[in-house]
């Protein structure tokens, strides 16, 4: 696939032993098997390595049950590493280690209160940043990011979302001008210029895919969506995400890729 993301690094953070205390609200699936979650995370990391990525690994912190969801703590564009300001207090301290990890590679900028923003709301497609206006990301957060990236030639498009955690929980980019999404969470006219795959209602978790270095990673167990993606010519890798899903997390949430 021509424009599928070519990336060199992935910042990941191990799953803490306190993972059962993570924030949940959407999945409705319990309890989490922490050992299995850690195995699934390891498999995810190995898959990224197999795809040619160098892992930047941050150790888990048991005081931060959601710390494995590194995506939420930074937004990376070109040479810039924007340290986010999570919309929930229990996740604020996660940004400390992310800044330490990212500072080797990027010029660091910060988002400041009263802004809140989580990377899971930021969908980058070429020079556009679609940013979910969600329970975690407020208007001020979107404005501050726009202030930092506009001068790099990026256009920021706010997307009001509902009944979901983040924009990318329900919408991701596959490459080749094609997005995949679950219906009913935002005004889809915003994405009128793209080809679309709409995931079947029973498989909405599979709207979160990770397209990187020639492959599309999808969660295991969503055969209808797998066919829809495969029929468009994408090369797919399935990963078991059962325990990550219980924590309202998905494939993109587990890394910051650049």
Name which of 1 and 239 has its Cβ closer to ligand CIR.
Answer: 239
Name which of 17 and 151 has its Cβ closer to ligand CIR.
Answer: 17
Pairing of strands 236-239, 74-77: unpaired
253 noted as active-site residue:
yes
Query: Which residue, judged by CB position, is nearest to ligand CIR in the bound state?
Result: 120
Q: Residues 68, 166, 171, 206: which is the catalytic one?
A: 166
Strands (E), the chain: 9-13, 54-58, 74-77, 80-83, 107-110, 122-125, 128-133, 155-160, 171-175, 178-182, 195-199, 210-212, 215-219, 236-239, 256-257
Name which of 169 and 193 has its Cβ closer to ligand CIR.
Answer: 169
Question: Is-contact 229 174, C-beta < 8 A?
Answer: yes
Smallest gap from Cβ 24 to ligand CIR, in A, equals 6
Q: Which residues bind ligand CIR (CB under 6 A)?
A: 22-23, 66, 69, 71-72, 91, 120, 165-166, 169, 247-250, 253
Question: Is-contact 126 173, C-beta < 8 A?
Answer: no
Smallest gap from Cβ 235 to ligand CIR, in A, equals 24
Which residues sit opposite 133 in a β-bridge?
Answer: 160
CA quadruple 162, 165, 168, 171: dihedral sign: negative
Smallest gap from Cβ 134 to ligand CIR, in A, equals 10
Smallest gap from Cβ 233 to ligand CIR, in A, equals 27
171 noted as active-site residue:
no
Name which of 69 and 234 has its Cβ closer to ligand CIR.
Answer: 69
Query: Which helix (DSSP H) or strand (DSSP E) does residue 140 occupy?
Result: helix 139-149
User: Residue 56 corresponds to which tokens in the numbers above?
Assistant: 């930047």
CA quadruple 58, 93, 18, 221: dihedral sign: negative
Question: Which sequence positions are flagged as catalytic?
Answer: 166, 253
């Amino acid at each position: 696939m021509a424009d599928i993301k070519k990336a060199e690094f992935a910042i990941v953070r191990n799953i803490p032993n306190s993972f059962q205390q993570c924030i949940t609200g959407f999945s409705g699936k319990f309890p989490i098997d922490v050992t299995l979650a850690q195995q699934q995370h390891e498999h995810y990391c190995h898959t990224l390595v197999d795809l040619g990525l160098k892992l930047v690994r941050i150790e888990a912190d048991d005081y931060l049950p959601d710390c494995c969801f590194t995506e939420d703590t930074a937004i990376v564009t070109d040479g810039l590493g924007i340290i986010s300001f999570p919309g929930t207090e229990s996740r604020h301290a996660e940004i400390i280690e992310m800044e330490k990890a990212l500072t080797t590679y990027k010029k660091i900028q910060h988002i400041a209160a009263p802004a809140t923003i989580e990377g899971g709301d930021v969908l980058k497609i070429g020079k556009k940043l679609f940013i979910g206006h969600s329970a975690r990301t407020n208007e001020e957060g979107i404005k501050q990011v726009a202030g930092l990236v506009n001068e790099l030639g990026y256009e920021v498009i706010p997307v009001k979302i509902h009944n979901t955690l983040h924009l990318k929980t329900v919408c991701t980019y596959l490459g080749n001008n094609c997005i995949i999404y679950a219906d009913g969470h935002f005004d889809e006219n915003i994405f009128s210029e793209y080809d679309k795959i709409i995931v079947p209602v029973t498989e909405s978790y599979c709207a979160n895919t990770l397209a990187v270095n020639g492959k599309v990673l999808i969660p295991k167990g969503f055969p209808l969506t797998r066919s829809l993606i495969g029929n468009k010519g994408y090369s797919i890798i399935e990963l078991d995400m059962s325990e990550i899903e219980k924590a309202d997390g998905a494939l993109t949430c587990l890394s910051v890729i650049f």
